[in-house]
Amino acid sequence: MVTNNRYEQYKTNAIMTASPQELTLMLYNGALKFCKQAIEAIKNKNISKAHEYIIRVEDIIQELMITLDKKYPISKDFELLYDYIYRRLVEANVSKNIEVLEEVYGLIKEFRDTWKEAMKKAKMHLPQDVINK
């Protein structure tokens, strides 16, 4: 019980101290985790758990859509892709289709990997005093 509380406290602290870029990365990682769990739940014929996990992924995708900065032209492209992912998640939830979830997983993984690469490149161009904060 104490270990669980410490883990929860660690997670809360990690979220509260994360930069917006790190929070986005956490959202992508969470979506991937829940997507994998949904696939496993379907394989194990645990339909209620699969539903729960898919809803978690849907919630994350909605959060990513809501937090898009509309002042950048590329945000419209992201919004369309997130919308596509969301619609596929709804379809997967209705049909409990593993292939659709695997497609969604691949798309989210591409977003996550691209985001990680962008974070690395942005960090390389920051002044050293900003990085060390």
Question: What local confidence, expressed as pLDDT, does residue 94 receive?
Answer: 97
C-alpha closest to that of 35 among 72, 75, 85, 69:
85
Q: What is the CATH number of the domain that holds 57?
A: 1.20.120.340
The model's confidence at residue 121, banded by pLDDT at 50, 70 and 90, is: confident
129 pLDDT higher than 60: no
Question: What local confidence, expressed as pLDDT, does residue 131 receive?
Answer: 47
Answering whether pTM is above 0.95, one says no
81 pLDDT higher than 50: yes
C-alpha closest to that of 31 among 64, 66, 60:
60
Is 78 part of a structural domain of the chain? yes
List the domain range (segments joined by +) for residue 64. Answer: 19-131
Is 10 part of a structural domain of the chain? no
Burial status of residue 41 (CB atoms within 10 A of its CB: 0-12, 13-18, 19 or more): buried
Is 14 part of a structural domain of the chain? no
45: phi then psi, degrees, rounded to nearest 5 = 60, 30
**Average pLDDT rounded to a whole number, residues 15-35:** 89
Is 118 part of a structural domain of the chain? yes
5 pLDDT higher than 80: no
**Average pLDDT rounded to a whole number, residues 32-53:** 98
